[in-house]
């Protein structure tokens, strides 16, 4: 079993490569739930849904959010009626979210996602990190904001002073998945709001210390590959470099992959991480994703 810790942007690109070389039933994906919330009357688990769409080959690769070839009739009609949606939801994407909202009246989030992934023909395990409600606050110069207020409404522009979130309990399925894994991969997702919430749950770090863990840097040079990771890392006191990311995971990290252009950081990281590799981690094309996946899994 191979387990991937995932957020909703960088890691799904890597998952595309991994699922071409690993039998789907041998892959377990543990997904961040920190940003889950209700919007327009439906439950939105953005990172989980992105993984569902990625693993079922439905993902919109232009945005890495929502389904490809979707329509927006409902969104446009709501706008005509004077209702402004915080998130622009496609019609097919909205259907998945409506179903999940209804399933949650009877099932846990884990079971709801299991029902949906099976309906989509996905053989891999896709596990929310927790069934408990996760909450995050972005503390900015403009006041306290929810994640989506910061990211969508304010376009990640305010200066970030702190990122605060509650600790939740991992599910039994998450613990079992990690314990039975031969290799654990931390994808190139935001280390503060995507990966750290997973590894901060009770008992997770203890398991990771006993496993072979590989991480792909979400930072190239001094910039995030995508999203507001740079601002969040600075707010939590970490250098926005591949070295700063390695410091977050140094307690259990065995193999760290940074971009080929970041050779100047390699020797510094090797002082506290056993193995550091240089490679192309800019996953623009499918060949790039498959090549990186092969190197992660087969060495």
3-state secondary structure 32-49: CCCCCEEECCEEECHHHH
What's the rounded mean pLDDT across residues 186-194? 91
171 confidence band (pLDDT: 50, 70, 90): very high
Is the pLDDT at 226 greater than 70? The verdict is no
Instruction: Classify 108 as helix, strand or coil.
Output: coil
Is the pLDDT at 156 greater than 90? The verdict is no
- The residue written with tokens 């110069």 in the block is 141
What's the rounded mean pLDDT across residues 24-30? 96
Of 163-167, 195-199, 206-210, least confident by mean pLDDT is 163-167
Task: Name the most confidently modeled range: 114-123, 144-153, 213-222.
Answer: 114-123
Residues near 279 by beta carbon (within 8 Å), at least 6 away in sequence: 257, 258, 259, 260, 292, 295
> 164 — phi, psi (to 5°)?
-125, 130
Residues near 5 by beta carbon (within 8 Å), at least 6 away in sequence: 11, 30, 184, 185, 186, 187, 189, 195, 198, 199
The CA-to-CA distance between both ends of the chain, in Å, stands at 16
Of the candidates 149, 151, 148, 147, the one whose C-alpha atom is nearest the C-alpha of residue 163 is 147
Cβ atoms 185, 12 nearer than 8 A: no
Please, which residues bridge with residue 220 across strands? 223
286 confidence band (pLDDT: 50, 70, 90): very high
Instruction: Classify 6 as helix, strand or coil.
Output: strand
Of 139-143, 214-218, 244-248, least confident by mean pLDDT is 139-143
Of the candidates 21, 8, 26, the one whose C-alpha atom is nearest the C-alpha of residue 289 is 21
| More confident site: 151 or 176 | 176
Measured CA to CA, the distance from residue 131 to residue 199 in angstroms comes to: 15
Measured CA to CA, the distance from residue 19 to residue 54 in angstroms comes to: 10
Is the pLDDT at 299 greater than 80? The verdict is no
The pLDDT value recorded for residue 275 is: 95
The pLDDT value recorded for residue 203 is: 94
Per-chain mean pLDDT for the chain? 92
Residues near 199 by beta carbon (within 8 Å), at least 6 away in sequence: 5, 205, 208, 249
What's the rounded mean pLDDT across residues 262-286? 92
The pLDDT value recorded for residue 108 is: 98
Is the pLDDT at 224 greater than 70? The verdict is no
152 confidence band (pLDDT: 50, 70, 90): confident
Measured CA to CA, the distance from residue 130 to residue 111 in angstroms comes to: 11
Residues near 98 by beta carbon (within 8 Å), at least 6 away in sequence: 42
- Predicted TM-score (pTM) of this structure: 0.93
């Amino acid at each position: 079993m191979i387990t991937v810790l995932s957020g909703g942007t960088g890691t799904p690109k890597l998952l595309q490569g991994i699922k071409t070389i690993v039998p789907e039933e041998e892959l377990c994906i543990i997904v961040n739930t920190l940003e889950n919330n209700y919007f327009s009357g439906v439950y939105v688990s953005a990172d989980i849904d992105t993984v569902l769409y990625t693993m079922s080959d439905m993902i919109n690769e232009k945005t890495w959010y929502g389904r490809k070839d979707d329509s927006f009739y409902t969104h446009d009609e709501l706008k005509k009626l004077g209702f402004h949606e915080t998130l622009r939801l496609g019609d097919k994407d909205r259907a998945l979210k409506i179903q999940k909202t209804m399933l949650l009246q009877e099932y846990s989030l884990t079971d709801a996602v299991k029902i949906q992934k099976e309906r989509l023909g996905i053989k891999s395990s896709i596990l929310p990190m927790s069934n408990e409600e996760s909450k995050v606050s972005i503390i900015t110069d403009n006041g306290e904001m929810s994640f989506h207020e910061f990211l969508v409404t304010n376009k990640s522009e305010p200066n970030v002073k702190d990122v605060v979130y509650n600790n939740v309990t991992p599910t039994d399925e998450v613990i079992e998945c990690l314990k039975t894994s031969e290799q654990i991969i931390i994808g190139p997702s935001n280390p503060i709001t995507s990966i750290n919430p997973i590894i901060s749950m009770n008992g997770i770090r203890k398991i990771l210390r006993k496993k072979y863990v590989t991480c792909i840097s979400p930072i190239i040079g001094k910039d995030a590959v995508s999203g507001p990771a740079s601002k969040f890392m600075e707010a939590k006191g970490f250098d926005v470099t591949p070295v700063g990311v390695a410091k977050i995971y140094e307690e259990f990290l065995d193999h760290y992959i940074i971009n080929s252009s970041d050779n100047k950081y390699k020797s510094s990281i090797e002082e506290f991480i056993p193995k550091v590799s240089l490679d192309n981690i800019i996953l623009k094309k499918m060949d790039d994703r498959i090549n990186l996946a092969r190197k992660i899994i087969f060495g």
